[in-house]
Amino acid sequence: MSDVFTTRILRVVTGSKETVTDLTRDCEEFLQQAARGKDGLLNVFVPHATAGIAVLETGAGSDNDLLATLHTLLPADDRWQHRHGSPGHGRDHVLPALVPPHATLPVVGGRLELGTWQSVCLVDTNKDNVDRQVRLSFLG
């Protein structure tokens, strides 16, 4: 049975364009305080119907490739039945089916166990909502 459960809310401003925001450093800083050298799990959750969490390489173009792929799969046009907000906003509500709103990651010795090029990212295609919350929870 775990003896540690700690949670924190990050506030992230994503701006008025589609974004992939790297949260890895925020996750690591949270674990320094929350995990205190213990093994466990980090859950990253975004409580929004139009954003997701992805684990991917950033900085080498993969983040832009992801946004381009999502734009191809989910074009911002008038095909969507969900029609409030900016044109094509309905596609933002489909995003979490492709990029889920959560990720659960291993923590070993208080450190996030990611692969060499992996980062934890907030994926946000919704230009109408620039203020996001991300919940980080450690169970160890």
In CATH terms, the fold of domain 5-139 is Jelly Rolls (2.60.120)
Max Cα–Cα distance, the chain, nearest Å: 50
46 SS3 class: coil
pLDDT of amino acid 15: 84
Q: Which of 63, 66, 71, 100 is nearest to 88 (CA)?
A: 71
44-83 pLDDT, tens digit each? 999 999 999 999 999 899 999 999 999 999 998 989 998 8
- Sorted by where each begins, the domain ranges of the chain are 5-139
Angle between the N-to-C axes of helices 90-98 and 62-73, in degrees from 0 to 180, rounded to the nearest 10 = 120
Instruction: Give pLDDT < 50 ranges for the chain.
Output: none
pTM: 0.94
What residues have CB less than 8 Å from 63, skipping those under 6 apart?
Answer: 20, 22, 56, 57, 121
pLDDT of amino acid 87: 81
Q: Which of 56, 42, 66 is nearest to 137 (CA)?
A: 42
